[in-house]
Structure 1
């Protein structure tokens, strides 16, 4: 199974990008900065996690590149834009949707995929704590998009373009 870890990381990074045409140009532009923001926040979280040994990445695509990069560039970046497209403006729905996805990642993918394939595992962090980290990241993502739309004039430009 170990010989398949790099191809799995590559697939994990590339597959979400195939959904970009379905996301739509307007949504991509609207949520791009939020996707970049959350990617930076996840990268920062991984930096802290490495120092505190919260989790460990066993597989890397390149010796100089963390194994978390495919996860950040793929599912976190693209997935965040999709979640915002589907739920932004409906905070309760947004948080519920995030909770379901984050719980699936934490309790299913980490245990039954990343750990079993020798890609990554939790070290000094419990699964519930990882879920809390994801909830905090979800709040940051929504907060970023809210601030962007309410203080940058984006909302007015969108309404002007629709009329």
Structure 2
């Protein structure tokens, strides 16, 4: 369990240490979408816990709490990074998400299983990939809608490809 604590702290800390590198404009532009996705993932974790999609064998109250470091670290900050470099180029966005999600699904989950951090239970890796793909569309769609109603959208003009 001590390893899991270090892993949790490391995931969150490393993710948040990269935040200043994003730049203030990018953080302001993409934070709401990333926070929305984090909230979405929190609800997804609650649903997944009831359906036993995955399991975090840690000494906290639930799988939800076990997944919180992943949500508040790599998923939250990673969403902003991906949006920063790919927003407005949907095909690139989709490709980057498929690559990152596949790396996590097929290699990251294997490593988590190997070290005893997390396990897929009633969800296959392919199904997990589909769950990630849906989240990719939700994130991009939220950002498109957000930009239509904020100064980010009106100041850019119509040069960026929309969803």
Q: TM-score, normalised by structure 1?
A: 0.90
Deviations 1:126-163 (A, max 9, x none): 0000000000001000000000001334322567xxxx
Listed as ranges, the matches of 1:1-163 within 5 Å are 2-59=1-58, 62-63=60-61, 66-112=65-111, 114-157=112-155
The alpha-carbon deviation at position 4 of structure 1 amounts to 1.1
Cα distance in 2 for partners of 1:79, 1:35 equals 9
Number of aligned residue pairs: 156
Q: TM-score, normalised by structure 2?
A: 0.90
Cα distance in 2 for partners of 1:14, 1:42 equals 19
Q: Secondary structure of 2:72's partner?
A: helix
Deviations 1:85-113 (A, max 9, x none): 0000000000000000000000000012x
Deviations 1:36-84 (A, max 9, x none): 0010111111111000001011125x54771100000000000000000
Is the 8 Å Cα contact of residues 55 and 125 (structure 1) preserved in structure 2? yes
- What stretches of structure 1 of length at least 5 have no aligned partner? none
Alignment RMSD: 1.6
- What stretches of structure 2 of length at least 5 have no aligned partner? 158-163
Structure showing greater relative contact order (alpha-carbon pairs closer than 8 Å, 6 or more residues apart): 1
